[in-house]
Amino acid sequence: MQVPQDALEGRRAEVLAIACGGYALPLEGGGVLPPPGSFACEGAPTSDPAKINIEPGDPWARPGAETPRAAAETRTTVGFDPGAGAGPAPALNVNILALDLGTKTGYALRRRDGRMVHGTEEFTPRASWAPGQKWLRFRSWLSATITEHSITQIAFEDVKRHGPGQVLAAHAYGGFRAMLEMVADQHRVALVPFGVGQIKKHWTGSGVAKKDDMLMQAKVRGFAAVDDNNADALAILHLAIAKEKREWAAPPAKSKTRRTRKAGAVAHERTA
């Protein structure tokens, strides 16, 4: 049955509009659609060549797929790296992605088959970018990563507070975390937060470890971490795997004792 061209174009516009919102539907009559979560769509703010790089072949897609999408400006992927001297990886029934959220997002993932990929994905904005470019690119990258590796669980650093003078860092973390929660919900992926001190202590033995300590521990364990963000992601993944294997459990919360002020009774003698 021949589909009228005007009907096909109308259907195509409808599907593209849905795809740009993070959802994709099959296109009647054929054609190439962007992947779920991609913002490399016709009419989207990120389709301007002056503001975005569109890769002709998506390296995150499954073999044989050609799905153009928004790409971050810098990608460092270390690739398969089980750690020096590591024997056969124990079986896990989940595909875990660990994230150290930020403009330079460290990531580390481990699949059921034992394969590991880790590195750093950068979302530093250019002067020509619209304000939302950073978030669109992060969303596109995360969605594609989840789809490519069939991620079922995302572990991340649960930052409760930022120090003095870190207002911008706090704003950035909040933005990345909001996008993470949204994309995870779209893909029905479980989120597993870990405290900053928990991650550092499990990785180095100290809950107040510095960046250099995290990097050194990654090197000791046989990982070629490209920077401290990558090292943090490896540490998060290490803790997530231990939790999944029931080799680690969060310590019980410390009970807070209330300090009460005892009011002393003062006797006032009244003279008649």
Q: Residues 11-18: what's their mean pLDDT?
A: 43
pLDDT tens per residue across span 183-242: 999 999 999 999 999 999 999 999 889 999 999 999 999 999 999 999 999 999 999 999
Give CA–CA dist 240/72, Å, rounded.
26
The DSSP bridge partners found for residue 193 are: 156
What confidence category does residue 14 fall into, taking pLDDT thresholds of 50, 70 and 90? Answer: very low
Greater pLDDT, 181 or 56: 181
Mean pLDDT score of the chain, rounded to an integer?
Answer: 72
What does the pLDDT read at residue 270? 46
| β pairing state of 153-158 and 190-195 | parallel
- How confident is the model over 240-251, as pLDDT tens digits? 999 998 887 777
Give the pLDDT score at 9. Answer: 52
CA dihedral (21, 25, 31, 37) positive or negative: positive
Smallest CA-to-CA distance from 105 within 129, 137, 62 is with 137
pLDDT band at 256 (very low <50, low <70, confident <90, very high): low
Q: Render pLDDT for 50-82 as a digit per residue (tens, 0 to 9).
A: 332 232 332 323 333 322 333 333 344 444 444
Of 75 and 179, which is predicted with more confidence? 179
Which two structure tokens, joined as six digits, stand for 23?
A: 């959802």
Q: Could you tell me the pTM of the whole model?
A: 0.62
Kindly indicate the confidence band of residue 258, based on its pLDDT and cuts at 50, 70 and 90. low
* Separation of alpha carbons 99 and 117, rounded Å: 12
Q: Could you tell me which residue, 42 or 125, shows the higher pLDDT?
A: 125
- DSSP letter for 73, please: S
Please choose, from the candidates 119, 117, 118, 113, the residue with its C-alpha nearest in 3D space to the C-alpha of residue 89.
113
- pLDDT for 4 beyond 90: no
Q: pLDDT higher for 147 or 20?
A: 147
Any bridge partners for residue 54, and if so which? 70
**Dist. CA 98–CA 28, nearest whole Å:** 37
Q: How far is CA 168 from the centre of its chain?
A: 19
Sketch the domain layout of the chain as residue ranges: 13-70, 72-244
pLDDT tens, 94-105? 999 999 999 999
Sheet holding 153-158, edge to edge: 74-77, 116-122, 104-110, 96-100, 153-158, 190-195
Return phi, psi of residue 122, to 5°.
-105, 135
What pLDDT score does 120 carry? 96
**Which pLDDT score, from 0 to 100, does residue 167 have?**
84
Q: What is the DSSP string of 144-190?
A: HHHHHTT--EEEEEE-----TT-HHHHHHHHHHHHHHHHHHHHHTPE
72-244: CATH number: 3.30.420.10
Please give the C-alpha separations between residue 21 and each of 12, 37, 63, 66, in angstroms, as whole numbers: 14, 7, 25, 20
Q: How far apart are CA 171 and CA 178, in angstroms?
A: 11
* Burial (Cβ within 10 Å: 0-12, 13-18, ≥19) of residue 33: middle
Segment 109-125 shows an average pLDDT of 93
